[in-house]
Amino acid sequence: MKTPASERLPGTISFAQQIKERSDKLMNYFLICFFISGLILAPVYDTWLIAIGVGGFSLFAYYYTKAAFPDSNLYQYVLSTVLGVFMAQGIYQMHGLFEMHFAAFIASAILITYQNWKLQIPLVLFVLIHHAGLSYLQNAGVPGVYFTELGSVELRTFIIHVVLAGIIFFTCGLWAYLLKKYSKIQITQTREMERLERETQLHKERVLNEEALKVAYQKAEQAREDADAANK
């Protein structure tokens, strides 16, 4: 991923690259925590296969994409989807425990660190499809489907749930956008300050050179006058 020259500071790696590397390191810890959480939940309803299979495949998908396309930010969009999968995994492992839905909000907040609001899109789409599909299947009485601990989901409840989730996703996306915007402003201001400092330094040097030339000229004039006086 190429970074615009306006986001590069002299003598340093690009600011965007710093954000990317820092965020990638954080994601390593978060993904490990999500995977371990799946293992911790596995004994409750004997969902070891889901914890290891789905969790392991999610990690593989993320790290494979990152390794296969090192110069692309595609892996970040895969990460967004993977975080949604971990949410769905937790809901299934706990047989629709309501609190497991909060994993989607955690995932949305985590993605802010990349300062790219578009990363919210895959997560939003996954959550919307997952919630709509599973709530419909559970209401239809399909066995083995776990969306909520309730026997069925009322349309009003589902709409409120989706609207509140949408507000959180929008807020996190807005924060990511504003962080990137203000980061660019800060970079521009830093570059302008450096330019002004260079101009100030050059001005000081010109003043010193002018003073040195003036002193040299005065000495030369004095020497000429002394020479003229000696010749008379």
As a whole number of angstroms, the distance between CA 191 and CA 229 comes to 57
pLDDT, tens digit, for every residue of 10-41?
434 587 888 999 999 999 999 999 999 999 99
pLDDT tens-digit series, residues 101-157: 999 999 999 999 999 999 999 999 999 999 999 999 988 888 888 888 777 778 888
Report d(CA 193, CA 189) in Å as an integer. 6
Sign of CA dihedral 130, 135, 136, 137: positive
In this structure, are residues 81 and 123 in contact, taking their beta carbons and an 8 Å threshold?
Answer: yes
Alpha helix stretches (DSSP H) within the chain: 15-45, 48-68, 74-93, 102-110, 120-139, 155-231
Q: Assess whether pLDDT exceeds 50 at residue 197.
A: yes
Residue-range domain boundaries for the chain: 13-188
